[in-house]
Amino acid sequence: MLTATVDENLSIWLYVKFIGDNGIEMDIPLLFDTGFSEWISLPRSFLDALGFSESTSQDVTLGDGQQIETPIHKGRILWEGQEREAPIHNLDGDPLLGMQQLEGYRITIPARVGETVTFALML
């Protein structure tokens, strides 16, 4: 099970450890975004610092309706104690945790500052 806390803006940030291709490890807070249907997004500065290589690209529709082509990188993360590969979109702005990364999880969100959000794998 994964947990996060509701902050003063009623936002939910989940810290994820990224394991760079260059050996650097970084704990990066990801903003949980139910409107982001992909896995994870990071701005270019994090992708460069971790040495993640671009593997492909994809057309995506942003929240404002704008369509852009975005590079997708292969990255490694520590997820529930297990190292695994994750596709990471290169998008400006806050690092995001999307719904595809959470497929198969039950998410409990008490919408109150300071409360604990749980992400539990459904069996």
pLDDT tens digits, one per residue of 58-95:
998 887 888 999 999 999 999 999 999 999 999 999 99
Q: How confident is the model over 90-110, as pLDDT tens digits?
A: 999 999 999 999 999 999 999
Burial readout 34-61 (b: 16 or more C-beta within 10 A, e: otherwise): eebebbbbbeeebbeebebeeeeeeebe
Give the pLDDT mean for 43-50. Answer: 97
Give the pLDDT mean for 46-55. Answer: 95
Give 107's contacts (C-beta < 8 A, 6+ positions apart): 117, 118, 119, 120
Checking if the pLDDT of 123 tops 90, the result is: no
- The pLDDT, as a whole number, for residue 63 is 79
- The pLDDT, as a whole number, for residue 65 is 87
| 12-104 maps to CATH 2.40.70.10 | yes
- Can you tell me the distance from the alpha carbon of 111 to that of 6, in angstroms, rounded to the nearest whole number? 7
Are 38 and 72 contacting, i.e. CB atoms less than 8 angstroms apart?
no
- The pLDDT, as a whole number, for residue 22 is 96
Q: How confident is the model over 13-29, as pLDDT tens digits?
A: 999 999 999 999 999 99
- The pLDDT, as a whole number, for residue 101 is 96
